[in-house]
Structure 1
Amino acid sequence: MASMDTGAAGLVRRLAAADGAAAHPFHATLIARAAAPRDLGDAVHALCAVHGHHPDLFEIVAGDPAAGPRDWLEAAVAGFAAERLFLANLVAAAGPLPSTPGQAQSETALTAERHALEMLARSERTGVGLGAAAALVWDWTALRQLLAHAADRFGIDVPPSTLPDLAATAAALDSCPAAERAVAFGAQQLFAQHRGLLSLLEARASARGHD
């Protein structure tokens, strides 16, 4: 049985704890009871802009037959398709983007982030795409807290996640012959992109002020 404390899985778990979305201060702000609806709506729109497109990161990684375990990748693709639908429903429930100074720059930053994730997923270095995909499963547990809170605030149901769980993800990582350094690189870059996204959301909330 794979351990989440050793090998590639252990590396990704430790990176998630130190650098994942849950470690960013603004994540705690967004999942708090007092979170402003406009901040939650902004977060939903941003996450959809980054992860709601097709093909998503899992689909791109799964397009490489040598990327990793097929059963895990296929389960991740199917599970994230449902998450994209959840995101789309949330965007509709949240309504228009809140008016925020610097909107054009924010859109540019979100486009750059989506492009960076696509480049990770398409990396020719074996293990990078799998590391990014595994990190997304790990980080989605934190981001889904945010989405569930937003869904509750905007009055829509939260569907159960069908993404592979962390134990299955650890097993997939540890069954892959890719170099741990490549897997770690993919994971680090995914977490860095999510940190950047949360920092952008924090800056946008500050720019809106308390009016």
Structure 2
Amino acid sequence: MQQRTVESVEQSGVGATMASMAASDGSSGHRYLSSAEFNTDAFAARNLADAVHYLCLLHGRYPGVVDFAAERTANPGSHDWLTSAVDGFAHERIFLAQLISAAGPQPSTAGHTQAEQAVLAQRHAIETLAQSERTGCALGAAVALVLDWHEIRAVLNAAAAKLSVDIPELTLPDGDAALAVVDAIGETSAIRRAIVFGAEQVFTQQRGLWDLLEAREAAREDW
């Protein structure tokens, strides 16, 4: 964890630190999500479909990050939030499956095998975090994913609109509820740092996915 992040946790609190991380290090700040290639040009539908396939590979399997975190986190202050998050992600997995079915095969892209292996490694990394025995780490990973998913959902909704798939209501807890949970259980410096560490690593993996998807889009242009 970077020293500035440690200082932010102790000075501003876990919730404020994670909100700042979500804005600067999460999916919302990645250039590709707001690019013409991803939103408006002739190949936007193809690029959205590619994103949906890899989001499903990373987060579509049960159990996932939130499910593992619910098993690992014993603090009663997080129980209701985690229960709600587990239920919400169950619905998101169904939505992902519907999108995959409608999207059909992934767009043909050079280096596909290497890309798939990279995303599988990312999945292993975040699932390992979500099963950590370090108090707070698993919860931090789950909260980061929920925060980031509110941004990712816009991508899924855009894909659904292009694929004529009904867009279900998002039932995940909102960001304020997520941040309130980490503030409530961050009782010691060690727990606060573990929460932020778990979150930091998830945000890193999420941005890594968008880096990969952007590189795949560029590879299709050159292929």
- TM-score by shorter chain over 0.5: yes
The one-letter amino acid paired with 2:26 is: G
User: For residue 187 of structure 1, what is the aligned residue in structure 2?
Assistant: 199
Question: SS of the counterpart of 2:52?
Answer: helix
Q: Does 1:28 align with 2:34?
A: yes
The one-letter amino acid paired with 1:15 is: M
Q: Does 1:57 align with 2:69?
A: no
TM-score by length of 1: 0.93
Identity across matched positions, percent: 47
Task: Deviation per CA, 1:48-74: give whole Å up to 9, x if none.
Answer: 000000101111011124256110000
Task: Deviation per CA, 1:61-92: give whole Å up to 9, x if none.
Answer: 11124256110000000000000000000011
Question: SS of the counterpart of 2:133?
Answer: coil
Whose helix fraction is larger, Structure 1's or Structure 2's?
2
CA drift of 1:47 comes to 0.1
Correspondence 1:134-153 to 2 at 5 A = 134-153=143-162
- Greater alpha carbon shift after TM alignment, 164-173 vs 74-83: 164-173
User: In angstroms, what is the RMSD of aligned CA positions?
Assistant: 1.7
Q: Does 1:11 align with 2:20?
A: no
Correspondence 1:117-196 to 2 at 5 A = 117-176=126-185, 177=187, 179-196=191-208
| Change over 3 Å in CA distance of 1:106–1:31 after alignment to 2 | closer
Task: Deviation per CA, 1:164-207: give whole Å up to 9, x if none.
Answer: 11121122111113622111111110000001000000010111
- Greater alpha carbon shift after TM alignment, 6-15 vs 108-117: 6-15
User: For residue 209 of structure 2, what is the aligned residue in structure 1?
Assistant: 197
User: For residue 99 of structure 1, what is the aligned residue in structure 2?
Assistant: 108
Given candidates 91, 94, 99, the residue that maps to 1:85 is: 94
8 Å CA contact 1:31–1:145 kept in 2: the answer is no
TM-score by length of 2: 0.88
Q: Which runs of 5+ in 2 are unaligned?
A: 1-10
Given candidates 23, 34, 46, the residue that maps to 1:38 is: 46
Given candidates 109, 112, 136, the residue that maps to 2:118 is: 109
User: For the residues of structure 2 that align with 1:26 and 1:122, how far apart are their CA atoms?
Assistant: 30
Question: SS of the counterpart of 2:72?
Answer: coil
| Change over 3 Å in CA distance of 1:142–1:163 after alignment to 2 | same
The count of corresponding residues between Structure 1 and Structure 2 is 207
8 Å CA contact 1:31–1:149 kept in 2: the answer is no
Displacement over 4 Å in runs of 4+: none
Task: Deviation per CA, 1:2-49: give whole Å up to 9, x if none.
Answer: xxx942111110001110101010111266233621111100000000
Question: SS of the counterpart of 1:209?
Answer: helix
User: For residue 6 of structure 2, what is the aligned residue in structure 1?
Assistant: none
